[in-house]
Structure 1
Amino acid sequence: MKRSYTDLINIYVKDDKQKLKVFDRNGVYLPTKKIGKNNPKAEQIKADNQYRTMWNQTVDRALISGVPEGQILEVKQSEIGQKVKASIQKSGRNPALFKSLIMTAVYALELLISRIFKNKVTAAVVKAEPEPTKVRTVNEPVTVKSEPISEIPKKSELASKYLRLADIYTKLEKQNTAIYQREQQLDCVEKELAGAKGIFKAKQRKELQEQAEQLQTQIARMKQYLSSIVQGYGYKNVKEFMAEFKVSKAEYADYQSAVARWKQQEVQERENNRQSYHYRSDRGGR
């Protein structure tokens, strides 16, 4: 029924970005709950929403990092969906356990994100190493089949949007990288804090604790800003943006390939015409 009313309202909304959407409970995100006026469970719902938001923010980072959506769904279903269902059947609703399960799922996603960042660093190091020089055959003949030259390829609507979407993605990627770097700093500070034991290290512990709290605050704000980047361009969330960006990128690549083939055909046609002209000139001069 809710979806039917939404579809009815959307008939009168011309801008696709302004159309209403029903939350996909089978998707990668967790829904947050609305807090009604004078709700006796307001504080509990607020706390619950904070953990749901934490999961959703981690999902955003995973999508930007390149974690496949199917893998994110597996984590959500195995670490949250299935375990929450089993817990409710066994002992009813337990808010404390729900938070614990979400934190475990968040940690699982963060491990996937960290793994991708480490792979990027490794790939960058390998790429920096000089490649062996390839020996090419001099005057190697290249045969190109001459085909009728078609009209110059035209960009699709999404291909035309690619450069603008790529700019947005670059902003997301930079923010995501900055968050990861802050998290690495926090990890180092927390390890140092754990090792600062004894009565003579009280001052050091206090300073490290303050550093850790400052980094935690910075990270929380940076994660919140991540989703606001795409929302500022009219997208509901990072998932919606990434879906359009990936299709746009693929269509833009197809367009570039088509243009390259078109140019190759054009060059070959000119070469054929030049050879034909010289051939006729040679025969006429005999």
Structure 2
Amino acid sequence: MARHSFIQMSKLPNVKGRISYITSPARQENLYAAYRTADNAFWGNLAKESQQEFKRSGADGKCVEARELIIALPEVYTQYEPQQVLEDFTEEFHRRYGVECVSALHHNKRKTNYHIHLIFSERTLLPEHKIKIATRSVFFDETGKRVRTKKEITDEDRKIRESCTVIKKGEVYESHLFTTKDDRFKSEPFLREVKAVYTDLINRHISTPEQHLKVFDKNSVYLPTKKIGKNNPKEDEIKADNAARQEWNRTADMALLSGISETKILEVKRTEIHEKTSQSIKSKGWLPNLFHSIVNKAKDLLQNLIREKDMPPKPTLDIDMAEFHTMQKLMIKVQDKAKEIRHLQDTVLPKLKQQLTDTKGIFKGKERKALTEQIQQTEKEISERMDKLPNMIKEDGYPDVQAFMTAYREAEAVVEQYNRRLAEWEQQVKEKRRPQKPPEKESVRNRLRQLQEQGRRQPRRKKSFDRDSR
């Protein structure tokens, strides 16, 4: 599988505190750069007005003063000047969405996660401040709600209750510096767009196509893995969860190479993972071990489909078409590797496990230990070989197995259509009819080149980090 970009959005109930935390050298061990498009006064006024609006609304929960994006960067970005990287990423957002931002570029403590924190406002400043002057005394209760009379906020002694407010005639009782929140920032399409924008920006400055990131497609045959945050108490649980997901993804690659259609794999994923997980959560709540079991059963079902499905025959062509032959050679190469893995899975490993089961007795300890080590080594070899399969695809410029198989099937269909047309033409010649014009190889070659480029998606980028390269 190709590496996916990681871009996460969260709500901020205390924007001033969060800004102080991410931009403070005293509080961040590995802070490389900080940048802002608005001063502290802007963020202070934003927080104040957001809280006032939230209080007036009477809504439950916490007030959302701003939002934050966390953008993970590949380690290749450490070779670029940090301040320039940060300003480029921040100004991209500022120009595109027209809101103010504060950002910081960090490494985690172990220096394994190079990332940007980008805080942005959901409101913009009004061209002119809206100020309301009281034409008579205005009264607000403890919750900030406006009431009609003073009597409603007084106690038995006719004294104004604590936390209630009185705005006298002629005083300012309400002012607005900002627009209302832009609802697009809390929509799914916005987050999808941001992920695409920043993934493209990241890839612009990675010269090696094999290292390019892609946005995870939830409609693909793969399952996403989860990122483990700093000091996460569920680290072990997430690692086990990711291991189960990776096993499914490897098996999905094997299924694609075995000739099982994407539609069938997606059906197994939907019915055996998504639907059963949803049912499990509704009836029992979230149970990590149960989820692992669901994914493993789905993986076993997919492996059974692979065993039942014969490998497609190696295609042969009588015409010289270099573009398709290149794809064909790659297909044969990865299918041969997949056969070797299936041999280990279906023959070697079961045989070793059966030998271990048959080796009994108190004097067979060394033999059992040796067999156990062989089994572990074989399982490790299977995992390593399955991990190498997508890399073989990526070396030829395709982001993952699914993308290659899609391009290959389309190319195969083009070639088959060409062969049918050529056969019809030859038959007409044989029967001495006036033949139609023979199909042109050049047009077929052009179509195959288009399919290869669509599958590979290899934009040429400059290696140096240059803001003007866009």
TM over 0.5: yes
Distance 2:236 2:368 in 1: 32
**TM-score scaled to structure 2, two decimals?**
0.45
RCO higher in structure (CA 8 A, sep ≥6):
1
Instruction: Provide the rounded CA distance (Å) in 2 between the counterparts of 1:98 and 1:249.
Output: 38
| Two-structure CA RMSD over aligned residues (Å) | 3.3
Which residue is equivalent to 1:174?
A: 336
* Contact 1:160-1:252 at 8 Å conserved across structures: no
Give CA-to-partner distance per residue, 1:173-195, whole Å, 9 cap, x none.
01100001111201111011112
Letter in 2 for 1:99: H
Structure 1: distance between partners of 2:371 and 2:411? 46
Partner of 2:249: 56
**2:359/2:368 contact within 8 Å kept:** yes
| Residue 204 (structure 2) pairs with residue 42 (structure 1) | no
SS at match of 2:399: coil
Q: 2:420 aligned with 1:254, yes or no?
A: no
Q: How many residues align?
A: 235
The answer for the alignment partner of 2:224 in structure 1 is 31
Structure 1: give runs of 5+ residues left out of the alignment.
124-154, 273-286
- Would the alpha carbon gap of residues 9 and 160 (structure 1) be closer, same or farther in structure 2, given more than 3 Å must change? farther
1:164 aligns with 2:353: no
For 1:72-111, list aligned pairs within 5 A: 72-111=265-304
Equivalent position of 2:350 in the other structure: 187
Q: Does structure 2 retain, via aligned residues, the 8 Å contact 1:161–1:248?
A: no
Q: Supply the distance in 2 between the matched residues of 1:38 and 1:199 (Cα, whole angstroms).
A: 46
Residue identity in the other structure for 1:236: P
After superposition, where does 1:138-149 map in structure 2 within 5 Å? Answer: none
Hey, what does 1:245 align to over in structure 2? Answer: 408
| Residue ranges of structure 2 left out of the alignment (5+ in a row) | 1-189, 314-319, 436-470
What is the Cα deviation at residue 256 of structure 1? 2.8
**Aligned mates of 2:269, 2:195 — CA distance in 1:** 27
How many angstroms apart in 1 are the aligned matches of 2:279 and 2:220?
A: 20
Matches within 5 A, 1:222-241: 222-241=385-404
207-216 vs 257-266, greater mean Cα deviation:
257-266
- Whether the aligned pair in 1 keeps the contact of 2:199 and 2:213 (CA below 8 Å) is yes
How far 1:255 moved relative to its partner?
2.0
CA contact under 8 A between 1:6 and 1:20: conserved in structure 2?
A: no
CA contact (8 A) 2:349 2:378 kept: yes
Higher strand proportion: 2
Select the structure that is richer in helix. 1
Q: CA deviation at 1:4?
A: 2.9
CA contact (8 A) 2:393 2:400 kept: yes
Q: Which stretch of the first structure deviates more once superposed, 168-177 or 2-11? A: 2-11
1:163-208 Cα offsets, whole Å, 9 max, x none, are: 1111111111011000011112011110111121221322221221
- Matched residue, 1:218: 381
Query: C-alpha separation between the residues in 2 aligned to 1:106 and 1:98?
Result: 12
Q: SS state of the match for residue 360, structure 2? A: coil
Aligned CA distance change for structure 1 residues 242 and 271 (closer, same or farther; 3 Å): closer
SS at match of 2:260: coil
Q: TM-score, normalised by structure 1?
A: 0.71
